[in-house]
Structure 1
Amino acid sequence: MNELEINFSNESPQKVNSEIIISIKNKIEENLLYKYCIGLNGKWTTLKEFSRDTSAIWKPAEDGIYTIIVQAKVENEKKPFSYLGKADYVIGEVEKNIIKSVTLDRRELTVGEKITAKVETVRTGILFRYSIVENGKWRLLKDYSAENMITWTVTKIGRQEIVVNCKLIDSKEKFDDMKSVEFNVLPIKDIHIKDFRCLTEELFMDNEMIFQVDVEHDDSRLILYKFVKINSEGKAECIQNYSTKRVVSYIEKDYGEFKLLCLVKDMYSPKEYDDRALILYKIKKYKPVIIKNFTCDVISPQTVGQEINFKVLAEGGKELLYRFTINGNFNQDTGYIRNNNFSWKPKVAGEYKITLFVKDASFEENYEDKAEIEFLIDEERRDPVTIKEVITDKKTKMLIGDTINIEVIAEGGIELKYAFIVRSGDKELERIEYGHCNWVNYTPEKSGVYEIEVRVKDKFSEKEYDCSYIVYVEAFDYIPANIDYILIPANDYYMVGNKIEITVIAENTRDILNKYVLRINNRKVEETNYEQVSQYTLNPKCAGIYNIDIFAKNRKSDRKFDCKKSIKIIIHDSLPVTNTTIECDKLHPKINEGVTFNVSSEGGEEVAYEFYLMEQGEWSLVQKYSRKNFYTFMPFMEGNYKLLVLSKSQLNKSSYEDYAILGFDVEK
C-alpha cells in the first residue's frame, strides 16, 4: 500500500497541551480525502474525519508514546482507504522508560544449558537488540528485530549479563532505552573415568579387540568418547572420534605393544576433553603353543616290528610344525613336518625316548613346547594288556543291600589274570587276589562312597598290574533327589503377560518332592510347599529380574533339600527399541531452504525421540524427548552437518536405548 509522509510542526518530544500541526508532506493524488487518527496504549480516537484538509491540529492531554495514522482515499471509493501514513510521537519523558522489565527463566545454570530472556515494554511497536557481556567483552546475540524474547545456549563459565537495547521504529538514535540482567553460569560437574578396561581375553593378531570405559558423571548430561590407538613407534590412529559410544572395537592386524587413549568430554564442555585415561596392552602374533596331549595307540612294552602310532593334540600358533625324535639303540629324526601324527616301527630292541617338539612356522628358535614318552621294545612279540570295557549291571548310585555286578573286558598279553580291591576313603575293605575270574559281585552294607579298583595283568608280567580301572559306587539309605534338567521355553526375550512353564526333569520322579521359591528383583514373592509337582507356571505381571529357586528331596529325606538349582529370567515391558533410522526429505539440502528429517525405529512402547544437531562442529540439543518423530530446520550456512537421534520407550529410565546419526552437506 502506498505510504503517506507525515510532518509535524514541532519535533518529538513535546509537552502536554502543546499545539501540534499534523500535515501531509507528499500529495500522491489530487482531490483526496484525509482522515486523522491518534493511538495511545492500544486505544484509538479520531482527530478528524475524512475531508480535503491536508492538515489537522492536535493538542495531546497526557504523557505517552502516541501513534498517528493518516488514511487517504478518493471520494465515493468503496474501499475504507487507499493510502496510509504512520508515525510515532512522544509526549513527556516516557521515552526514557520504554522497558518495564527484563526477566530470565533462570539466574543460575550450567554450561551447555539454554536460557530465555523476555522483555516487557510500556508500549508496542518497539525494536529489540540483545547482547551478552562476558568478562567485560560484548558479544551481539541478535540485532534489532521485533522479537521481545530470545533463547540461547550458554558456552562460557562465570557471571554474565544480558543487555537489551530498545528503540522506537522511527527513532534515529542507536537506542532509546537499555536494561541489563545478570546471571551466573556454573561449570559442568567434574567427569571422572573410573574404569577403563579391555574386554577381550585373548590379545592376538586378527582378533577383535574390545575396550570399555566407565565414567562417573551426571546422568542428565550427554557424554562423548574418543579413542586413539598409539603403536610402539608413537604413530597415532583415531579408532573412534567423539561419540556417545563408550565401547569401542577394532581388529588388530599387527603385533607388539600398544596404547589406547580415551578422551571423555561433556558435549557442551568448552575444553578439548574433561578427563582422559590410557591403557597399555600387548598384542601377540598368536596363542602360545602348548602341547595338550601326546599319546600313542599302545602301551609299553612292545616288540620289534610292531607299528606304534603317536598322535599330538596341540593348540596355539597359526601354522604348527611337529618334530619327532627317537633316541635309543636306533635313532631317528623326522625334522619339522606339518602332520601331527607319526608311525614308528622299531627295528632294534631296547629302551627308547620319543621326544616331540612343536613350534609355529614363524618361530625362529628350536621349539616352543616339547613332550616325551619312554618306550621299551622287546624281542618277543606280545600284545599290550588293555581294558576295553568295564560293565556294571546297574547304576553306581544304589540302595544299601543291593548287589552290583562288575565285569571286565580286557585283551592282550598271553594269559590274563584279574584282581579286585574295595576301599572306602583310605581304608581297604576287601581284596580278591589275581585269578581267572573277570567279574565280581559287591553288596554295600552301609551308606557311603566305595571305590572298586579292577586290576589286570599278564601271567608273565613282572609289574604289579599292567592296567587298571576304578568304579565308584555310592550307597544310600534312599536315593537322594537329583535334578537333571530344568526346561524353560526356548525364548531369549520374555515380556509381561507371557506364560512361562518351567519343567523339572529328574529320575525317580514318584519319590521326589519339589519346592519353588520365586523372587522378583531380590524380593521374595512366592514360596510353595514340598509337593510331587514337576511343573511351575509363571505369569509375570511386571517387568524385572525373576529368580526361581527349585529345591528337590526324596520323600524319605530328613534334610532341608537334597538338590537345589536356580534359574534367572529377565522380564521386559516391551521389545527393545532397535533399528533406529533417519531419512531426509532432500537429497542435497541447500541454504535458506527448509529440510525435514523423519525417524523410524522398531520395537519399544510409545517410543520417544531426542534430536541433537552438529553445526560448525558444535552439538546442540534441538528437540527434547517427545513422541514427535520428525525435526525440521532451515540451514543458513553451507558446510557439514550431523543429526543425532536418541530413541527409547517413554517409560524407560535409561538415557537412551538406541540411536542413529546422519551426516549431510548443505550447499549454496
Structure 2
Amino acid sequence: MNEVQSKYIEIIFDKEKPQSVDTSIRIKVKAENISEELEYKFLIGKGGIWSVIKDFSKSNQCLWVPTEDGNYIIMVQAREKLKARPLDYLAKEEFSIVKGEISQPMKEEFKDNTDHENYSEIGRITEADSNEFKEIMSETNDNILFLKASQVSPEEKKTLMKGIDETMDETRDEMAVTRDVIDLKEIEKRVEVENREDDEISKFNSEKIMSKLSEKSLNNDINSIDDTYNEIIEDIIIEKNKIFVGEKAVIKVNSIEKETYLYKFYIKNNNEWSIIKEYDTDNILVYTATQPGRMEFLVQCKRLNSTDNFDDFRIIDIDVEENEKVEIVNIKCLSTELICGEELEFAVDTNIKENNGQVILYKFYKISKDGRSSCIQDYSTNSNVQFIEPHDGTYRILCLVRSILSNKEYDDRAVLMYKVKPYTDIKIKDFIADLNSPQATETEIIFNSDVEGGKNLLYRYKVKGPIEEDTGFTISNEFSWNPEEPGEYEVFLYVKDKMFTGEYEDSRKIAFTIEKRGKKPIKILDVIVDKEKKIIIGETVNIMVHAEGGTGLLYSFIIKRDGRLIEESKYSTSNWIDFTPDRVGEYEVEIKVKDKYSEKDFDIHNLIYLKAMEYIPGEIDYILLPYKENYLIGDAIEFECISQNTNEVLIKYETKINGQSIEQTEFSKNKKLRVIPKTPGKYTIEVCAKNIKCEKEFDSKKQISLYVNEASPVLNTKIISNKIEGKVNEEFSIEVTSRGGKDVCYEFYLMENGQWKKVQSYSKKNFYSFIPFTSGKYKILALAKSYYKKVSYEDYSELNFCVKD
C-alpha cells in the first residue's frame, strides 16, 4: 500500500491569518526535492464537509474567495502525472475567516506572480449553495434516491432522464433523482433486494446513499463513490445498549478484512450530525453521556488510499437513562447540646444506598438570623459537617446534595433550623451546709453548692430570719455564715450566668435552727479516700474521716450503689471503713458523725461519690514534641504520649496531611511516634488511648497540629553588578545572591526606555549579562523562589543604573 508523503509539499497563502469574508485569497503549493511533474487538487473543509476548489491539474496555484466566517481547513492532494496512483502527497493548513475588514500586505512569494489564469474560483460557496445544502440535510422525507448505473436498465434510464439536461454526461456511474420526477417504487424495491436481503441492513444502506448524495449535492467536484459498493464494516460491538448519565459508551468497529482502515465518528445533535472524532486508524470510540435520551452515532469507514469521503458506514443507537434521583430523607443534629464555642455536628441521610454505586456530594451553608450565609463545607462525600459557632442565636443550616455526575447545581436541598445557646442550662445539683441544723450561735456554718452548666457563674446567698444577710452576686460558690441571734432561719442560694440579664436562673434553700451557744460544734475536717474517684471493681477502697468538736465522736457509714442501699455500719468510734465494689456503677458513701451524747441521727454528715469501673480508662495527659520554628521536609519529628497507668494503656496514632489521613497505626503500648514528612502542608497527629480491657473504639482522644514547609523562605536577595554604571556597546553583568530556600531559581526583568521586559524565566542561573545599545536609565528586577514553591516569587531585589555613551 502506498503511503501519503505529507512532508514534501507545503501550502502558502498570499495573506496572513485571519482574513475577512469575501477576501480573495491566493493559495500556492511549494514542492521541494521532487523532480517528477505533479498534478494538484485543492479542497476546502468546514464543519466536516469538504468541497473541491480546483480538481487535479498541473497548476500549483488557485484562488479562494470565502463567503462565510468560520474555521476552515485547506487540503492539497498531489500525484505524479506519469504514475497510476490516486495520491502521492498530502498537505493541510488551517485558516480563519472573520467578519469585518482586515488589511494586510501580500506576502513576498506572491508579489511577482501575475499569472491569474492559473487561479480558480470554483471553491467559492455561494449563499444559495449553502441554503440548498441545509435544506437537503434537514429533509425528513427521503425524497432523493441515488442509483448505481449498473442497477438501471437503458429503458429506465431514459425514463429517469426525462426533463434533465441532454448534455449531461451519460457515462457517469451514478444518478441522483427526486421522487417528484417519477414514481420510483418499483426501481427502489429491485435495487434494495439486489443490494441487501436483510431489512435492517437495507435501511442502513439507504441512509448511506442519502448521505453521499447530500455531499455530492453540495459539491459535484468531490471524488465520486466507487462503481461497486464494497462493505468494510463487519459489525459494531457496543459494551452496553443502555447506560446512565455520566457513564461512558464504548463503541468498537470490527472490519471484515484484516487491513488497516480509517474510522470517523459522528453524533446526532438536534437532528444534525456533529463530528466527534476525525479519520484515524483507531476503531474504538469512548464517549461520555451527559444528557438522558437516545444517542445516535454514525460510523464512517474507508480505506487508506480511498479518495471518497467514506466507503462504508453504520448508524447505531444507545439509550441513556437518568440516574436515580437523589433526595434528602433526613437532616439531623448529632450534638447533644448546641452551645456556642463548642463543636456542633449535623448529618444528612439520602435515599441513595451505599451499595448503589452513585457518589453523592454534600454542600453545607450556615444562615444567620439576619440572612447572611457562609459556606461551611463545599461539595464533598462527607455527609457530616462539624463546626464551632462563636455566637449564640437562631440559625439555619442548608444542605445541598447532588450526584457527582449530575449536571445540575444540586439535586435536592433541605434546611434545618437550630438554636445555639450561649451556655449549658444552669442547674444546682447540691446545696449543703457543713453543719446540720440546729446549731449554736456564733458557730461558723459554711454553705457549699455544686452547680452544673453556665460559663461564668455568679452566686448570691440570702439569709432570712431574725438577722438578715445578702451577699449579692459574687463569683464565690462558698458562703460563711456566723449567726449571732437564735431563731429560725432560711438560707437561699441564687445562681445565674454573668450574661444572664434576669434575676436568677436556679435557686435552692436550706432551713436552719439556731440555738443559744452551748458546746463546741462538731465539724468534719477532711475525708480521705485512698483511691481516685474512679475505682476498679474487686479492689478494696479505704475511706477515713477526720472530725472535731463535741465530747466524743461516733461515726457511721452508709454505702449505696445507683441509689440502692448496699451496706450500713452502726455508730462506732472507728473513723474509717473498707469496702470492695463488686459491680460497675455509681457509689454514694454517706458519712455521719455525732456526739456520743447526742440524741440526733447525726450532728453532721457528708457525701462522697465514687465510680466503680471494670478498668481505669486510658487518659492522655500530654502529647510532647520537640519545639522548632520551622518544620521542613525530611526532618524527623518525634511525638510522645504521656498517660497514667502506662502499662495498661494502648495508644493509636493517625497522621493526616491537610485533613487527609495518610497513615494509621494499630493500638499498641508504644507511646512514641516518629514521622519524617515527605510533602509540605498541615500535619495533624491524632492520638487515641484506651485501656487494654476497653471494648469501645477508644477512651480518650487528643490531637496536635504543625505545619511542614518545603524549605525555609528565601531571604536577603541582593543584586551585585560588575560596574557602577554602564557604557553603550559594553557588556553589563549582574549576579544575584540570597539566603534560605531550596533549589532557588531566579527570574530577571529589564526596564529599558521605561518598558519592562522579561529577559530570563525562572531557572537556577543566578547571573545575567547584556549589552546596552542606547544610553539612559536602566532598571533590573530579580525575582527569587524555591524551585518547588508554587508561588510567583518569595523575595526580590532591584538595581538602578545609568548607561552613558
Q: CA deviation at 1:352?
A: 1.2
Does the C-alpha gap of structure 1 residues 420 and 327 become closer, same or farther in structure 2, counting only changes over 3 Å? closer
Whether contact under 8 Å (2:550, 2:595) holds in the other structure is: yes
Tell me if 1:228 matches 2:365: yes
Does the C-alpha gap of structure 1 residues 89 and 105 become closer, same or farther in structure 2, counting only changes over 3 Å? same
Q: Give the alignment of 1:141-160 within 5 angstroms.
A: 141-142=275-276, 144-146=278-280, 148=282, 149-160=284-295
**Aligned with residue 323 of structure 1, among 436, 460, 479:** 460
Q: Could you say which residue in structure 1 is the equivalent of 2:740?
A: none
Amino acid in structure 2 at the alignment position of 1:205: C
Cα distance per residue 1:353-398 (max 9 Å; x no partner) = 1101111222222110011122222221433334668999xxxx99
Whether contact under 8 Å (1:407, 1:439) holds in the other structure is: no
SS in 2 for 1:263: strand
Amino acid in structure 1 at the alignment position of 2:489: Y
SS in 1 for 2:473: coil
Q: CA deviation at 1:283?
A: 1.1
Does the C-alpha gap of structure 1 residues 40 and 98 become closer, same or farther in structure 2, counting only changes over 3 Å? farther
Tell me if 1:131 matches 2:291: no
Tell me if 1:284 matches 2:391: no
Q: State how far apart, in whole Å, the 1-side matches of 2:512 and 2:575 are.
A: 33
Q: State how far apart, in whole Å, the 1-side matches of 2:378 and 2:489 are.
A: 63
Does the C-alpha gap of structure 1 residues 40 and 99 become closer, same or farther in structure 2, counting only changes over 3 Å? farther
Tell me if 1:368 matches 2:505: yes
Cα distance per residue 1:229-281 (max 9 Å; x no partner) = 33445554432232222221222133333332322211112344334444332
Q: CA deviation at 1:131?
A: 2.0
Amino acid in structure 1 at the alignment position of 2:342: N
Tell me if 1:492 matches 2:628: no
Q: Which one is further off, 334-343 or 280-289?
A: 334-343
Q: State how far apart, in whole Å, the 1-side matches of 2:369 and 2:573 are.
A: 67
Cα distance per residue 1:52-104 (max 9 Å; x no partner) = xxxxxxxxxxxx9xxxxxxxxxxxxxxxxxxxxxx997684346857665543
Q: Give the alignment of 1:159-308 within 5 angstroms.
A: 159-164=294-299, 178-193=313-328, 195-215=330-350, 216-217=352-353, 218-308=355-445
Q: CA deviation at 1:155?
A: 0.9
SS in 1 for 2:650: coil
Q: CA deviation at 1:227?
A: 1.5
Q: State how far apart, in whole Å, the 2-side matches of 1:105 and 1:262 are.
A: 37
SS in 1 for 2:490: strand
Whether contact under 8 Å (1:387, 1:410) holds in the other structure is: yes
Normalising by structure 2, what TM-score? 0.43
Cα distance per residue 1:216-238 (max 9 Å; x no partner) = 33453322111223344555443
Does the C-alpha gap of structure 1 residues 26 and 213 become closer, same or farther in structure 2, counting only changes over 3 Å? closer
Does the C-alpha gap of structure 1 residues 145 and 317 become closer, same or farther in structure 2, counting only changes over 3 Å? same
Amino acid in structure 1 at the alignment position of 2:244: T
Q: Could you say which residue in structure 2 is the equivalent of 1:340?
A: 477
Q: State how far apart, in whole Å, the 1-side matches of 2:318 and 2:597 are.
A: 104
Tell me if 1:6 matches 2:143: no
Q: State how far apart, in whole Å, the 1-side matches of 2:443 and 2:290 are.
A: 87
Does the C-alpha gap of structure 1 residues 310 and 455 become closer, same or farther in structure 2, counting only changes over 3 Å? closer
Q: State how far apart, in whole Å, the 2-side matches of 1:243 and 1:453 are.
A: 55
Q: Could you say which residue in structure 2 is the equivalent of 1:592?
A: none
SS in 2 for 1:375: strand
Q: CA deviation at 1:325?
A: 0.7
Q: Could you say which residue in structure 1 is the equivalent of 2:549?
A: 412
Unmatched tracts of structure 1, length 5 or more: 9-21, 28-32, 43-63, 65-86, 399-404, 443-450, 472-481, 503-549, 551-564, 571-578, 583-661
Q: CA deviation at 1:469?
A: 9.0
Does the C-alpha gap of structure 1 residues 262 and 111 become closer, same or farther in structure 2, counting only changes over 3 Å? same
Q: CA deviation at 1:326?
A: 0.8
Whether contact under 8 Å (2:653, 2:666) holds in the other structure is: no
Q: State how far apart, in whole Å, the 1-side matches of 2:456 and 2:568 are.
A: 53
Q: CA deviation at 1:328?
A: 0.3
Amino acid in structure 1 at the alignment position of 2:339: F
Identity %: 34
Whether contact under 8 Å (2:592, 2:606) holds in the other structure is: yes
Q: Could you say which residue in structure 1 is the equivalent of 2:248?
A: 114
Amino acid in structure 1 at the alignment position of 2:651: N
Cα distance per residue 1:563-595 (max 9 Å; x no partner) = xx774789xxxxxxxx9999xxxxxxxxxxxxx
Alpha-carbon RMSD? 5.9
Q: State how far apart, in whole Å, the 1-side matches of 2:565 and 2:472 are.
A: 51
Whether contact under 8 Å (1:406, 1:439) holds in the other structure is: no
What count of residue pairs does the alignment treat as equivalent? 432
Q: CA deviation at 1:300?
A: 3.0
Does the C-alpha gap of structure 1 residues 189 and 390 become closer, same or farther in structure 2, counting only changes over 3 Å? closer
Q: CA deviation at 1:415?
A: 4.7
Cα distance per residue 1:162-196 (max 9 Å; x no partner) = 12356899999987765321011122134454553
Higher strand share: 1
Q: CA deviation at 1:315?
A: 2.8
Q: CA deviation at 1:153?
A: 1.0
Q: State how far apart, in whole Å, the 2-side matches of 1:316 and 1:422 are.
A: 28
Q: Which one is further off, 341-350 or 359-368?
A: 341-350
Whether contact under 8 Å (1:127, 1:169) holds in the other structure is: no
Amino acid in structure 2 at the alignment position of 1:492: K
Cα distance per residue 1:20-73 (max 9 Å; x no partner) = xx985669xxxxx9785556999xxxxxxxxxxxxxxxxxxxxx9xxxxxxxxx
Amino acid in structure 2 at the alignment position of 1:252: E
Unmatched tracts of structure 2, length 5 or more: 1-8, 10-29, 32-36, 42-55, 62-78, 89-172, 174-220, 530-536, 578-587, 609-613, 618-644, 655-662, 671-691, 699-706, 711-789, 793-805
Q: Could you say which residue in structure 2 is the equivalent of 1:104?
A: 238
Higher helix share: 2
Q: State how far apart, in whole Å, the 1-side matches of 2:474 and 2:468 are.
A: 18
Whether contact under 8 Å (2:233, 2:301) holds in the other structure is: yes
Whether contact under 8 Å (1:299, 1:384) holds in the other structure is: no
